[in-house]
Structure 1
Amino acid sequence: MARDGTTQGGADGGAAGGGAPDEHTVTALVAAAGAAPSMFNAQPWRFRYLRDAVTLQLRAALDRTLPHADPHGRALHLGCGAALFNLRVAAAGAGWEPVVTLLPDPFDPRLLATVRLAAAVSPDLELARLRPAIPERHSSRQPFRDELVPEPVRAALRRAAELEGAELHFPSAWHVRAILELVRDAEGRDRDTPARAEERERWTRDADAARTATDGLLAEALGPRLGYGGFPLRDATARRSAFAAGDPTPYEEEPQLALLGTGEDRPADWLRAGQAMERVLLLATGYGLSTGLTTQVLEWSELRWPVRDPESGMGQVQMVIRLGYGPPVPRSPRRPVDQILEIV
């Protein structure tokens, strides 16, 4: 019998014996969920576990919104969707079947999803196999090697997105160049918008703050201040002179980009896209790929539409993913589970 009086399934707190997960298992599931990526690593999620219903609620943390970079909450939903997918993976790995309902209460928009933990009759092994990749996935801003991602890997990543109701498209070389120009345009607009620069600065942690940080972007993980070659990066260190000096570092001349999109552009689509994004990222991690997320071009409505490739038929681009083979990067800070989980 577990500490809370429920039946513990197996040695890992799984569902082998039926009943409900114990508190240790629920905590581990939410810790895995909290490892998801989010804009500026704001981690805009909270979880509430309802013991009697054996259900986890995923709620938006409105005190962690980004009003200038993400005024409509699209990025918040993407990040929370990624956290939801990690929760599903961790639950499957522990022997539970995560039964998900998106946006279950139209009168409570902060309640983004519920996940009922049912005993798995037929375990989703494909989902469970992604579990080891959760702590290994890190967003990278470092230069990648000029080494092509093999087509069989690309095909597997496309399928991963499709399993979550999204589409992953690898644009042609001419369209990649067009996207890079749009990213440069967005980067210039960001620099010319003081409120956005201040927002980025607020979420960037310097060396001193990094020692105790539980959120935000670590300065040491941001990569070179400026790069040359084919890939422009968001300037998250605009006010930090320590990163303004030195020679620029070469990035890959022909970055390998993937566009992840959905047919529509509603909150439910954003949540599905976030799950698809994380499924792609975890699978890519398992293949030994480095990945990075590019969102600034999608934050300007007049730039977002031209990002889509007319040859793909994709409705709405939700994320631009950079793929390749790069060096290890530091882990991003994470909020302790007791700050994001409530058990009632």
Structure 2
Amino acid sequence: MPATALDAFTLEKLIGAAVAAPSIHNTQPWRFRLDLGTLTLQMRAATDRALRHTDPTGRALHVSVGCALFNLRVAAAHFGWEPVPRLLPRPDQPDLLATVRLAGAVRTPAPMALYEALWRRHSSRLPFSDRALPTTVVTELQDAARADGVDLHLVPPTDAGALLRLIGEAEHRNDADTDRAAESRRWVRATYPAADGLLPDVVGPQDSLGRIPMRDFSARRRPGAPTAVPFESHPHLLVLSTDHDHRADWLRAGQALEHVLLVVTVHGVRASLLHQALEWPDLRKRLVPPVGGGPRHAQMVIRAGCGPEGPASPRLPVPTPGPG
């Protein structure tokens, strides 16, 4: 049965679920407005939290909001509403990225496991084991992505090295780009105000062998950082991609990404996001091969495996949606 009224407790849970989503540099670039008359939640881009140098087109911002949108859909269904999402509903309001109307009784309740997982999901930047992902889990992840019209490709072991080299090249460029480095440090300080740069126990160990390029958000190694710990010899990498590369595709990719990450969490698998090569157009084009004669557009690289959880990134306080 659907909830008969949208009380303050339920509204806080819905927004709390949405903002539990991942976002680039943990910028959490979203704002919410509520239209009580139609029970519609608006999701708007927080343009003041956009990354002008790292994400000049806003692609990663849209993917981040798409992740939050999927969580909101899961939470709405959990509380008994049928979530009716619309992407980019007002061309005259480009910051309005999506709306979710809370309609009548939910037709297909979201699995309880997904709702519980969204509160536990977070990236792990720690080393994983070399144990292969079960085929059944990979298939389930691909089905999750496909539900939003997005493709998820498991990178063959023979191609993993080449992909990691692209990510490593992107990381090198990011370190050498003073504007991007400064932007990264600024957001780290905003998220972790007590730290001058991201502390080593939050970043996780750096890979001294260069197998897993892990972003150093402080753009420098901190003095006294612990000795690097080798990462897995055979990383399991997945590439999320779309047929087209428009704003709606980015939002769909974000929903698919969060769906995949929640399924990963349900199965006790860890994951981290390797976004570096997506930030450079020439490298991004090389992340996925053409399929069926046409290009694919990479939207995220996911590293998955068995290993420790690692610490969670902090979240801003749950915002109170303003009136629509």
Give the shorter-chain TM-score range.
over 0.9
Residue 234 of structure 1 pairs with residue 215 of structure 2: yes
| Structure 2: distance between partners of 1:130 and 1:259 | 22
1:184-225 residue CA offsets vs partner (Å, 9 max, x unmatched): 1111111111001111111224997259xxxx9665321114
Q: Which residue among 297, 304, 308 is the counterpart of 1:316?
A: 297
Match of 1:287 in 2: 267
**What per-residue deviation string (whole Å, max 9, x for no partner) do you get for residues 155-195 of structure 1?**
00000000011010002122211101111111111111100
Cα deviation 1:219-253 (Å, max 9, x = unaligned) = 5321114442621112213245236x442211001
Higher RCO (C-alpha 8 Å, min separation 6):
2
Partner of 1:187: 171
Distance in structure 1 (CA, Å) of the matches to 2:207 and 2:184:
16
Greater mean deviation of Cα atoms: 231-240 or 322-331: 231-240
Q: Is the contact made by 1:41 and 1:217 (CA closer than 8 Å) also made in structure 2?
A: no
Equivalent residue letter for 2:223: A
Q: Is the 8 A contact 1:70 1:299 kept in 2?
A: yes
Q: Specify the code of the residue in structure 2 equivalent to 1:242.
A: P
Does the Cα contact within 8 Å between 1:38 and 1:79 map onto a contact in 2? yes
1: CA distance, partners of 2:317 / 2:279 = 29
Matched, 1:336 2:321: no
Q: Distance in 1 between matches of 2:200 and 2:33?
A: 32
Matching residue of 1:40: 25
- Output the CA distance in 2 between the equivalents of 1:70 and 1:287: 32
Counterpart for residue 139 of structure 1 = 123
Structure 1 residue ranges, 4+ long, deviating more than 6 angstroms after superposition? none
CA distance change for structure 1 residues 229 and 70 in 2, over 3 Å: closer, same or farther? closer
Which sits farther off after the overlay, 270-279 or 189-198? 189-198
Tell me if 1:263 matches 2:230: no
Partner of 1:72: 57
- What residue ranges of structure 2 are gaps of 5+ in the alignment? none
What amino acid sits opposite 1:319 in the alignment?
Answer: M
Residue in 2 that maps onto 1:106: 91
Q: Name whichever of 92-101 and 323-332 sits farther off.
A: 323-332
- RMSD across aligned positions (CA): 2.2
Residue 302 of structure 1: CA displacement?
0.6
Counterpart Cα distance in 2 of 1:131 and 1:218: 31
Q: Could you say which residue in structure 1 is the equivalent of 2:255?
A: 275
Cα 1:272–1:206 shift into 2, 3 Å: closer
In the TM superposition, what is the alpha-carbon distance from 1:122 to its structure 2 partner?
2.0
- How many residues align? The count is 323
| Structure 1 residue 341: Cα displacement | 2.5
TM-score (norm 2): 0.93
CA deviation profile, 1:236-295 (whole Å, cap 9, x unmatched):
13245236x442211001110000011100000000000000000000000000000011
Q: In structure 2, how many angstroms separate the alpha carbons of the residues matched to 1:98 and 1:83?
A: 13
Structure 1: 5+ residue stretches without partners = 1-13
2:66 corresponds, among 69, 78, 81, to 81
Percent identity for Structure 1 against Structure 2? 48
Q: Give the corresponding residue for 1:155.
A: 139
Alignment partner for residue 156 of structure 2, among 167, 172, 176?
172
Secondary structure at the counterpart of residue 223 of structure 2: helix
User: 2-side partners of 1:246 and 1:330: how far apart?
Assistant: 16
Q: Normalized against structure 1, the TM-score is what?
A: 0.88
The one-letter code of the counterpart of 1:191 is D
Maintained 8 Å contact 2:113/2:266: no
For the Cα contact (< 8 Å) 1:161–1:280, is it kept in 2? yes
1:113 counterpart SS class: strand
Q: Distance in 1 between matches of 2:247 and 2:106?
A: 31
User: 1:4 matched to which residue of 2?
Assistant: none
Q: Give, in whole Å, the separation in 1 of the partners of 2:103 and 2:80.
A: 9
Q: 2:80 corresponds to which residue?
A: 95
The verdict on how the C-alpha distance between 1:41 and 1:292 changes in structure 2, with shifts beyond 3 A counting, is same
1:27 to 12, 37, 42: 12
Distance 1:248 1:219 in 2: 10
Offset at residue 121 of structure 1 (A) = 4.7
User: Is 170-179 or 50-59 further displaced after alignment?
Assistant: 170-179
SS of the residue 1:241 aligns to: coil
Q: 1:108 to 1:223 in 2, by over 3 A?
A: same
